[in-house]
Amino acid sequence: MAVRKVLLLGNESLYKISQQITKDQLKKAREVVRDLHDTMMEFRKKYGFGRAIASPQINEPYRIIYMNFDDNSIAFINPKLEFVGDKIFEIWDDCMSFPGLEVKLKRYEKVKVYYKDLDWNDCVIEFEGDLAELIQHEYDHLDGILAVQRGIDNKSFRVNKDKSGCF
């Protein structure tokens, strides 16, 4: 549909809790997913990274996440996370809402995601490692939480010049 502007760190809309989608809003959800796809592909062309995006990042206050990796794409409507086990790992995380800035944080190694697909079917998928981290990152966006709020400490930030487009 359209490439949308990605909201940047500091925009108050990024800190709001997103709304559930209802079945009668499925047409709107499909439109948002198309915009998320187009926006992420354009971002990927410009910055060279981006595997997932949440609807609040394009100023759509819904519980929608779109992932595109290894020629696979998944739209998550009203996702719910379940942490599998208690194994946690540290990772440097980046975000389309603050390209070039990375945050060291902790995430669960393995998660299950319960969600509706674009045909309103109940689905479940399990992720581990970097994809588990990715879905946790995007899920946080739905709750108005940014990775910068999850930094391990006040020294858990760095600039990645290759991803900033500013340096």
Reported residue count of the chain is 167
Predicted confidence (pLDDT) per residue in 121-161, tens digit: 999 999 999 999 999 999 999 999 999 999 999 999 999 87
The CATH number assigned to the domain holding 79 equals 3.90.45.10
pTM for this prediction: 0.93
Confirm whether 137 is domain-assigned: yes
DSSP string, 88-113: EEEEEE--TTSTTEEEEEEEESEEEE
Distances 3 to 37, 40, 65, 160 between C-alpha atoms, Å: 8, 8, 16, 24
What does the alpha-carbon distance between residue 131 and residue 16 come to, in Å, rounded to a whole number? 24
User: Is-catalytic flag, 128?
Assistant: no
3-state DSSP assignment of residue 158: strand
> Which residues define the annotated binding site?
95, 137, 141
**Distance from the Cα of residue 61 to its chain's centroid:** 13
In this structure, which amino acid lies at residue 6? V
Domain span at residue 109 reads: 12-164
Predicted confidence (pLDDT) per residue in 74-111, tens digit: 999 999 999 999 999 999 999 999 988 999 999 999 99
Catalytic residue among 60, 102, 133, 138: 138
> Which residues define the annotated binding site for Fe cation?
95, 137, 141
Q: How many domains does the chain have?
A: 1
Confirm whether 50 is domain-assigned: yes
